[in-house]
């Protein structure tokens, strides 16, 4: 699925909101469905997954067209470093719409964090919109108009 197809699909998801808000709400809805052994908290720009044993995860949905061959991540890396060094979250996942040029998780290593704290994880994650796509292709009037 191309980014433009994602944009159209998310635009059809709710005609009253921006695609970026729809994407955030979609990711939150999928994560919040499974609360077994974890607590999910929705913030203004992130979703916190609090787990008692594996370390908590801050998920930050970002609606933009990603191309794994042309990454420009200065803002995301700076935000992740700030979160990891100033909070209890040592796992930061940036979630983007999956597309033909962004299909696999990418782990980011940051030298300053390697030295300061060995236990951290920054990932870029392509998020599939197949459940919305299936509903739209099935002519559901609830999600697609």
In tens, the pLDDT along 56-85 reads 999 999 988 888 888 888 899 999 999 999
Tokens 């979630």 appear where?
A: 95
Tokens 């433009």 appear where?
A: 4
Residue 142 lies in a domain: no
Tens digits of residue pLDDT in 100-122: 888 899 999 988 888 877 789 99
Where does the pLDDT of residue 5 fall: very low under 50, low under 70, confident under 90, or very high at 90 and above? low
Q: What is the pLDDT of residue 143?
A: 34
Distance, CA of 145 to CA of 136 (rounded, Å): 9
Mean per-residue pLDDT, 112-138: 73
Residue 116 lies in a domain: yes
Distance, CA of 106 to CA of 55 (rounded, Å): 19
Q: What is the pLDDT of residue 62?
A: 92
Residue 143 lies in a domain: no
Residue 144 lies in a domain: no
Distances (CA, A) of 76 to 32, 110, 137, 138: 23, 12, 34, 36
Helices (H) and strands (E) in the chain, counts: 5, 6
Residue 23 lies in a domain: yes
Residue 145 lies in a domain: no
Residue 59 lies in a domain: yes
CATH of the domain at 44: 3.40.1340
Work out how many domains the chain is built from and give that number.
Answer: 1
User: pLDDT: is 134 or 87 the higher one?
Assistant: 87
Q: What is the pLDDT of residue 91?
A: 93
Distance, CA of 75 to CA of 131 (rounded, Å): 30
Percent of the chain predicted with pLDDT > 90: 35
Distance, CA of 84 to CA of 81 (rounded, Å): 5
In terms of residue numbers, what domain contains 128? 3-137
Residue 124: phi, psi to the nearest 5?
-105, 125
Tens digits of residue pLDDT in 22-47: 889 989 998 888 777 888 999 999 99
Residue 34: phi, psi to the nearest 5?
-105, 95
Can you say whether residue 86 is alpha, beta or left, with left for phi > 0 and alpha for psi between -120 and 50 degrees?
Answer: alpha
């Amino acid at each position: 699925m191309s980014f433009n197809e994602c944009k159209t699909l998310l635009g059809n998801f709710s005609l009253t909101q921006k695609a970026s808000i729809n994407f955030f709400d979609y990711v939150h809805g999928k994560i919040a469905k499974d609360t077994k052994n974890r607590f999910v908290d929705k913030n203004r720009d992130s979703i916190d997954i609090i787990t008692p044993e594996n370390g908590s995860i801050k998920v930050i949905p970002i609606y933009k067209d990603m191309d794994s061959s042309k990454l420009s991540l200065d803002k995301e890396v700076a935000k992740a470093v700030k979160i990891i060094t100033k909070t209890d979250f040592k796992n930061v996942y940036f979630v983007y719409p999956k597309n033909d040029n962004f299909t696999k998780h990418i782990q980011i290593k940051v030298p300053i964090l390697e030295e300061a704290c060995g236990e951290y994880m920054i990932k870029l994650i392509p998020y599939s919109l197949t459940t919305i796509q299936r509903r739209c292709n099935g002519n559901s009037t609830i999600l697609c108009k």
